[in-house]
Amino acid sequence: MRTWHEIRRFPPAVQLLLVNQLGVNTGFYLLVPYLATHLTENLGMSAAVVGVVLGVRNLSQQGLFVIGGSASDRLGARGVIIAGCALRTAGFALFALGDGLGVLLGASVLSGFAGALFNPAVRAYLAREAEDRRVEAFALFNVFATTGTLIGPLLGSVLLLVDFRTSALTAAGIFAVLTVAQALVLPARKAEPSTGGVLADWREVLGNRAFLAFALAMSGLFTLESQLYLLLPDGARHATGWDGAAGLVFVVGAVTGLLFQLRLTRALKQRGDRARWTAVGLGLMAAAFLPPALVAGASGSPDGVADAVLRVLPVLAGALLLHLGVMVAQPFVMDLVPAFGRPGLTGTSFGVFYMVSGVVAAVGNAGVGWAMDTGRDGGAAWLPWACCALAGLASALGVVRLRRLGSLPAPPHSAVPTAVRGRTPA
C-alpha cells in the first residue's frame, strides 16, 4: 500500500513511465531469451549465425545509446520515447513474420536501435520530471522493471506452447500499446536550447573525466546484474537438476523489490550520501557470489527433494544479496548520472553512461562465460563466482576512490562549491 501511495504522489507523466518500463521489460523478456532457441531449433541456423543476429542487436543498442540521448536533449524526450517504442514494435513484428537472414538482421537492428532511443530518453524524462525526488522515482522504476523481468519469461514460456510467432507478435503488441499510450498521455516538454552542436555536446560529456571514471566503475554493476540471467540460473539448475529452478532467481528479486525497494531507498537517502550507498550496494553485489561458490563444485544429482533444496539455498541466498545490492545502488546511480552535467545534457549523459558502461560490461560478461567454460573443464566450478566477486569489489573500490577524491557530484542540498563538485581525479 505504501508503494502504491508513493506512486500516486508523482505526476501522471512519471506514473506512465513506470508502467511503460513494466511493459518494456515484459515485452522484451517474453521474446529475447527464447530467440536463440528459435533460430537454432526452428530455423536450423548455425551457432555462428545466431551469434551474428544477437550480436547485431546488442551492438545496435549499446553502440547507439548516445544517439538516443542527444536526440532526447535536442528534440524532446517524448518524441524519442514514442519513436523508440514504435521501432521496437516493428522490429519484434519482423521476428514473427520473417525467417530469412536479411529480415532477421533487419529486425535485430530495429529492435536494438529502438532500445538505444527510448532507454536514455525515458531516464532523462524521469529525472527531469521527478526533480528533487529522483531517487524515489528511480527506486519505483527499478520495482516496475524487476516485475516486468519476472512476468516476461513466464508469459513467454506459456506463449511458446503455441509457437514462437505468437510470442513475438504478443511482444510487438505490447510495444504498440505503449506507443499509443505515450502518444496520448505523455506531456510534451520543451527541449532546452543548446548553443553548440551535437559534437560539442558529446565533447562536453566525454571531456568530463570524473563522469567517464564513474561510468567505467559502474560497468561492474551491469556485469553482475547480468548474472541474474546467466550464472545464477545456471547455478540453480545445476544444484537441483531442474530447469524450472532458474525461475526462482527472478521470483526472489521481484518479491524483494515489491516489498522493500521503496522503503529501503527512502531510509538510505536520509542516512548517507549517494556515493556511499552506491559503493555499499556494489559491495553487497560482490558478496552475493560467495555463497554459491561454496556449493559450485557439488557433483552428481541431488538425492531427493530435501537435498535439492539444501543445494539451491546458497544460490538463492546469492540471488537475494545480488538483488539487495541492486536495490541499494541503482536508484542512487541513476540520480548521480544527470548530476555530473548541466540539465540540458541529461539525455546525452545517460546515453554516454550506458554506452561506456554497457560496452565494458559486455566484455565482462564474455569473461564470465569464459570462466564458466574453463571452470567446468578444469574442475574449478568456483572460478566464475570468484571472478564476479572480484569484479564487484573492484567497482566498489573505484566508487570509494572517486568519492575520496571529491570527484562525484555533491548532494543537491550540499554547500560544496560547484568547482569542487566538478573536480576530476588526478
CB atoms within 10 A of CB 378: 9
Q: Which residue has the cell 564513474?
A: 214
Q: Which residues of 207-246 are buried (b: 16+ CB within 10 A; e: fewer)?
A: ebebbbbbbebbbbbbbbbbbbbebbbbbbbbbbeeeebb
| DSSP 8-state symbol, 39 | I
Torsion of CA 416, 345, 348, 118, to 10 degrees: 110
In which band, very low, low, confident or very high, does the pLDDT at 349 lie, cut at 50, 70 and 90? very high
Given a contact cutoff of 8 angstroms between Cβ atoms, the answer to whether 212 and 276 are in contact is: no
In which band, very low, low, confident or very high, does the pLDDT at 47 lie, cut at 50, 70 and 90? low
Q: Could you tell me which of 71, 69, 81, 134 has the C-alpha nearest to residue 351? A: 69
Grid cell digits, residue 360: 565494458
- Residues near 372 by beta carbon (within 8 Å), at least 6 away in sequence: 230, 231, 234, 383, 384
- How much is the pLDDT for 416? 38
Return d(Cα 342, Cα 344) in angstroms, integer: 6
- How much is the pLDDT for 420? 34
Q: What is the mean pLDDT of residues 370-387?
A: 90
Q: How many CA atoms lie within 13 A of 415 on its CB side?
A: 0
Amino acid at 70: S
Return d(Cα 359, Cα 387) in angstroms, integer: 18
Q: Could you tell me which of 180, 160, 118, 222 has the C-alpha nearest to residue 32? A: 160
In which band, very low, low, confident or very high, does the pLDDT at 196 lie, cut at 50, 70 and 90? confident
Amino acid at 284: L
Given a contact cutoff of 8 angstroms between Cβ atoms, the answer to whether 293 and 382 are in contact is: yes
Would you list the DSSP string of 265-301? HHHHHTSS-HHHHHHHHHHHHHHTTHHHHHHTT--S-
Name which residue leads in pLDDT, 243 or 181: 181
The alpha carbon of 377 is separated from its chain's Cα centroid by a whole number of angstroms, namely 31
Of 281-290, 309-318, 371-380, where does the model show the most confidence?
281-290
Return d(Cα 105, Cα 99) in angstroms, integer: 10
Residue 291, pLDDT above cutoff 60: yes
Given a contact cutoff of 8 angstroms between Cβ atoms, the answer to whether 392 and 224 are in contact is: yes
Amino acid at 351: G
Mean pLDDT score across all residues of the chain: 88
- How much is the pLDDT for 389? 97
- How much is the pLDDT for 419? 34
- How much is the pLDDT for 194? 67
- How much is the pLDDT for 300? 67
- How much is the pLDDT for 400? 96
Q: Could you tell me which of 234, 250, 261 has the C-alpha nearest to residue 149? A: 250
Ranges of H-type helices in 186-245: 198-206, 209-217, 219-226, 231-240
- Residues near 345 by beta carbon (within 8 Å), at least 6 away in sequence: 73, 201, 204, 205
Name which residue leads in pLDDT, 97 or 1: 97
3-state DSSP helix/strand/coil percent for the chain, to nearest 5? Answer: 80, 0, 20
Return d(Cα 39, Cα 36) in angstroms, integer: 5
Q: Which residue has the cell 512519471?
A: 14
- How much is the pLDDT for 426? 38
Burial status of residue 98 (CB atoms within 10 A of its CB: 0-12, 13-18, 19 or more): middle
Return d(Cα 263, Cα 355) in angstroms, integer: 31
